[in-house]
Amino acid sequence: MRLAVVMLTNGSLSGGAAKHLRIVMPMLALDPRIERIRVFVPEGSAHILPHNIDVYEFPVSGPGSGFRKLKTALAQYGPQVLFIPSARYLATPGARTVTMVRNMEPLETPFGGNTMIDRMKNLGRRYAAWSSCRKADRIIAVSDHVANYLIGRWSVPPAKVATVYHGVETPPEPVRPETLQSLGNRPFVFSAGSIRPARGLHDLVEAMAQPSVPSDLQLVFAGQVDAGAEAYETSLHDIAERHGISDRIHWAGRLGHAEMSWCFKNSDLFVMTSRAEACPNTVLEALSHGCLSVSGANQPMPEFFEDTAVYYDSGDPASLAVKMVEALNASASQREEMRAAAALRSLDFTWETCAKRTAEELEHSLA
C-alpha cells in the first residue's frame, strides 16, 4: 500500500506523539505490506524522524492556508491509506482514512479543574476526535479502555475499532539527576507526568502528609507544569506547605530518559494518580523497570498493570496512604515477586508488535 501518515496538529508534538513517530515509522517503512510511506508533520518537527524517512513539513502559522498546502501535497502524493495518529480527520480523494485515539482527557475529563481556556480547548479536541471517529474508515484505539469508550459512549460500530497498544523501550543505563542531589540516600516514592489537574497529583501530596506514612519517606516528581495549569501547581505547593511536608517533596522538573530510568530503578514505590489516560507511558515504563506500584483503580491502569500493582480509590488520599504503607510493608519476598511480575508484564508491550498490528489495521482499511 502507498501510505501517508499525517500528524495533524496546529503546533508542536507531545512527547508521546514524537516517540510514536520516531520508533514506529521506520518499522512501518520496512513492513512488506507498505510499498511507500511519507510522513507529514508540522513545520519544525522533521528532526524527530530518522533521515531515511520521507518527510513533508506543512506550515502551521495559518491553519487554513497551511492545511490547504497540506491537502495539495497529499493529492500530489496520492496515498491509498491516510493514517492520522492525532484523532483528527482530513479527507483525501481516493484514500481510506485511519485515525488513532490516544488522548482521553478531552473525552473523560474536559473540565476537571482546568481554566476556561483549557476547557474550551478540550471541548474542541473532543469534537475533533468525535468527528474523526465518525468519518474515518477505521479507528485504532491504544487500549481496550479507549475502544470501550468509543463503542459504549459514542456508539462507534465495534467492527470499526481495533486496539493496538503502544510499546515500551528497554530501559537505558540510569543517570542520577542533578536536581536530586538533596535527596541523598533517603527512601522515596516516585511519580511523573505533566503537572495539570487531570493528573490527580493532589492525592499523592495529601497522602504523603497522612500520619501512617513514614516521616522520612520522600516524594520525587518528574515533570513540568503545563501552560494554563500554573494555579494547580501552586495549589500543590500550598497543600505541602499547609501540612509541613514541603521539604520532603522534590520537584525534579523535566528529566531525560536516563534520569527517568534512575528514578524508576531506585524508587521504593511508583505511584500513578492520573484520572484520564489512554495508554500511559509512565505505567509502561514503571512495568519495564520492575517497579513496586500503587495506582488508582480507574481504567485503563488495571488494564495495563493487571495484578502487578496495588490499587487505591482515586480521589481518596487516605486510601492512597493506606495502600502505600501496605506495599512498603510487604515482605521482601512479596515485593520481589511483584517486581518480577511487573517486568514480565512489560514484555506484552513491544514497539515491534505495535508496528506490526498498526500495519495490519492500515491494510484492513482497504478491505
> Other C-beta atoms within 10 Å of 61: how many?
9
Residues 250 and 277 in one domain: yes
- Looking up residue 290, the CATH number of its domain turns out to be 3.40.50.2000
Q: What is the largest CA-CA distance in the chain?
A: 65
Residue of 252, 280, 138, 95 lying closest to 188 (CA atoms): 252
How far, in Å, CA of 33 to CA of 332, rounded? Answer: 49
Q: Three-class SS of residue 96?
A: strand
Residues 355 and 337 in one domain: no
10-residue stretch averages of pLDDT, the chain, 367 residues long: 93 87 97 97 93 92 69 96 96 95 96 93 96 98 98 98 97 96 95 96 98 97 95 97 98 97 98 97 98 98 98 98 98 97 98 98 96
In this prediction, residue 64 carries a pLDDT of 54
C-alpha cell of 336? 520481589
Residues 208 and 229 in one domain: yes
Residues 138 and 185 in one domain: no
Q: What residues have CB less than 8 Å from 32, skipping those under 6 apart?
A: none
Distance between terminal CA atoms of the chain? 12
In this prediction, residue 142 carries a pLDDT of 98
Distances from the Cα of 363 to the Cαs of 97, 135, 291, in angstroms?
11, 18, 37
Residue of 8, 145, 18 lying closest to 90 (CA atoms): 8
Q: Which domain holds residue 224?
A: 178-346
In this prediction, residue 160 carries a pLDDT of 98
How far, in Å, CA of 236 to CA of 324, rounded? Answer: 19
* Residue 173 domain-assigned (yes or no): no
Do residues 220 and 267 lie in contact, with contact meaning Cβ atoms separated by under 8 Å?
yes
How far, in Å, CA of 118 to CA of 312, rounded? Answer: 28
Residues 107 and 37 in one domain: yes
In this prediction, residue 13 carries a pLDDT of 86
In this prediction, residue 66 carries a pLDDT of 57
Do residues 220 and 188 lie in contact, with contact meaning Cβ atoms separated by under 8 Å?
yes
Residues 105 and 236 in one domain: no
* Residue 43 domain-assigned (yes or no): yes
* Residue 172 domain-assigned (yes or no): no
Residues 155 and 231 in one domain: no
**Number of domains into which the chain is organized:** 2
Residues 102 and 204 in one domain: no
* Residue 163 domain-assigned (yes or no): yes
Residue 162's H or E segment, with its range, is strand 161-163
* Residue 306 domain-assigned (yes or no): yes
What digits encode the pLDDT tens for the residues 275-320? Answer: 999 999 999 999 999 999 999 999 999 999 999 999 999 999 999 9
Distances from the Cα of 52 to the Cαs of 12, 39, 245, in angstroms?
22, 11, 51
Residue of 352, 190, 212 lying closest to 272 (CA atoms): 190
Residues 19 and 148 in one domain: yes
Residues 7 and 149 in one domain: yes
Residues 156 and 248 in one domain: no
How far, in Å, CA of 74 to CA of 68, rounded? Answer: 10
* Residue 190 domain-assigned (yes or no): yes
* Residue 10 domain-assigned (yes or no): yes
- Transcribe 63-89 into DSSP letters: HHHHHHHHHHHHHHH--SEEEETTS--
What digits encode the pLDDT tens for the residues 126-155? Answer: 999 999 999 999 999 999 999 999 999 999
Among all chains, which residue has been given the C-alpha cell 508540522?
42
How far, in Å, CA of 68 to CA of 269, rounded? Answer: 49
Residues 185 and 328 in one domain: yes
* Residue 359 domain-assigned (yes or no): yes
pTM value is 0.95
How far, in Å, CA of 36 to CA of 25, rounded? Answer: 11
Distances from the Cα of 364 to the Cαs of 80, 132, 339, 354, 360, in angstroms?
12, 18, 38, 15, 6
Amino acid at 112: G
- Rg of the chain over Cα atoms, rounded to whole angstroms, equals 21
C-alpha cell of 72? 495539495
